[in-house]
Amino acid sequence: MGKGNNARKIWAAALALIVILAVGSSVRAQNSAGEWPIYGGSYANDHYSPLDQINTGNVSRLHVAYTVSLGVLKDYQTTPVMAGNTLYVTTSQGPQYVYAIDAKTGKIKWRYDSNVPKDVLAYNCCGGDNRGAAFANGRVFVGRLDGYLVALDAYTGRELWKTQVADYKAGMEITAPPLPIHDKVITGINGGEFGARGMLQAYDQATGKLVWRIYTIPGPGERGNDTWKGDSWKRGGAVIWDIGAYDPELNLTYWGTGNPAPWAVAPRAPDSSDFGRYTNLYSSSVIAVDPDTGKMAWYFQEVPNDAWDYDATAPTLANLRVDGKTVPALLDAGKCGFLFVADRRNGKLMSAEPYVFVNWARRWDISLKRPVENPDKRPTFTHDAKYVCPHIYGGKSWEPMAFSPQTGLLYINSNNMCQDIKEQKIEYHRGNFYLGTENSTLAGPGGYLGKLIAIDPTTHREVWSVKEPWPANGGVLATGGGLVFNGDWEGYFNARDARTGKLLWQFYTGNGIAAAPMTYLVDGKQYVAVVAGKLSAIPSYFGELGQRMIAAGTPEGGTLFVFSLD
């Protein structure tokens, strides 16, 4: 009993410090003890740590401290979270398991078995992935493929409550980590490919009771409902399938919404570039929401009447120097290939420029608040769109980018693929794919399929880049040691100089890495962690190119690697 009480006191103290720092002058919520309590490391969702014990001068001495086999193979997108002296790691396929692991030794403290129904993958879009958990107030929060949100006792792994968010047999599931804010925990849902109606909801952390829910598609009588044709709003997608960010000073939380459903335009809007009011709000948008009430404060739409599956992704918050002033900014590298920089106080766009090769739009016009499309690249029932860039997987997809306040640079692991698109007739059937297009995957220009890019978000200047032979490489971690870490499709885990991109260290894990790394401090020692386990489902959507990816890739696996200095 005494051991449990002490552990709970440590966690409570750690949480208090996180909250104190979060409500200060920064949106960065990682505490001085070097914890990583939520997916992006902090409320800024910037995948940055100020830890500098491991740095450009000594990273060459990095070695494996320990490994943990996670017991489930393939499709790993998870980033561990860490609080006290414990790592919390989710597996794929449910997640089938959640582990509590001693962050110093790798010893497993407990394992939670979710026992999700065996048929969940039949209603899943993209491989049964899970991106991780969240820690707050001595609880570990996890979303599941069966549509449930659960809270676990962080010390014992005991299930404290379990609340159904959505019906997985309608294609709605949860793969993103929840976001704890104040006394609530907030989550979205997947299901845009199944005709779900997007929604965001907050639950009481202590009880699991619903506090508020908003829909990302307006219903009848609500502003924006007339941007949908007929009753298409009922199954119009715009789901929030990735993590959000939060600014405690503004008390606003920020989320990216997905594509409208179906991919084929005709059921929801005029089937042309001249679509008038049918912009399909609030799909393919970034929205700002009051976390206490669920009221939407502002939005901007990246792709009106999206015909390409160009979701907005997970926003990152950063304070940028613009025209001699510090601006609280929001950054989103949309799947559409444009990097959006907005004032997060009001959603006013400051810039929108391509970060990869783009030809579906000629430019994104800030004054018009919309892209200037290339009509030849919009598919319709009477026109097949050829060599449309970027690909449906996006210039960037779910793989996290990182922003370093030390260098002022944004680090994006981008994709360089294009597509041919043919629209088809489609009808909605509950629990079935609701797409309506046939997409062929093509290599982008330049002879490479992926690229790690360092961009100055104030100028959109590419400072350095590293071309990769394959797409779908791992998310990025930036640190105060002047380093950028990321993994790749072939299983290499890399550390680069954050200012130059020079490769300083590399380790072969033997398994493809798609997940983002993280770092933490225990007993005065810094560690870096990443989960290796290649994506198996995603390449199956890439046709012949995907078959080449599979042939060049590693066997399936699922292993936590943790590194430290001597």
Q: What is the pLDDT of residue 6?
A: 43
> In the structure encoding, which two tokens stand for residue 58, read together?
């000594």
2-564 has which fold?
A: Methanol Dehydrogenase; Chain A (2.140.10)
Residue 159: strand, helix, or coil: strand
Q: What is the CA radius of gyration of the chain?
A: 22
Q: Which residue has the tokens 């966690």?
A: 11
> In the structure encoding, which two tokens stand for residue 387, read together?
């060599």
pTM, rounded to two decimals: 0.94
Residues 276-313: pLDDT tens digits?
A: 999 999 999 999 999 999 999 999 999 999 999 999 99
Q: What is the pLDDT of residue 553?
A: 80
> Quick count: other Cβ atoms within 10 Å of Cβ 26?
18
Distances (CA, A) of 253 to 250, 276, 490: 9, 30, 36
What backbone phi and psi angles, to 5 degrees, belong to 550? -65, -40
Q: Give the domain ranges of the chain.
A: 2-564
Q: Across the strands, what pairs with 148? A: 164
Instruction: Please provide the DSSP assignment of 469-512 as one string.
Output: SSSS---EEEETTSEEEEE-TTSEEEEEETTT--EEEEEE-SS-
Q: What is the pLDDT along the chain (566 residues), one digit of tens a residue?
A: 333 444 443 444 344 333 323 333 457 654 456 999 999 999 999 999 999 999 999 999 999 999 999 999 989 999 999 999 999 999 999 999 999 999 999 999 999 999 999 999 999 888 899 999 999 999 999 999 999 999 999 999 999 999 999 999 999 999 999 999 999 999 999 999 999 999 999 999 999 999 999 999 999 999 999 999 999 999 999 999 999 999 999 999 999 999 999 999 999 999 999 999 999 999 999 999 999 999 999 999 999 999 999 999 999 999 999 989 999 999 999 999 999 999 999 999 999 999 999 999 999 999 999 999 999 999 999 999 999 999 999 999 999 999 999 999 999 999 999 999 999 999 999 999 999 999 999 999 999 999 999 999 999 999 999 999 999 999 999 999 999 999 999 999 999 999 999 999 999 999 999 999 999 999 999 999 999 999 988 898 899 999 999 988 888 899 999 999 98
Quick check: 115 and 98 in contact, CB under 8 A?
no
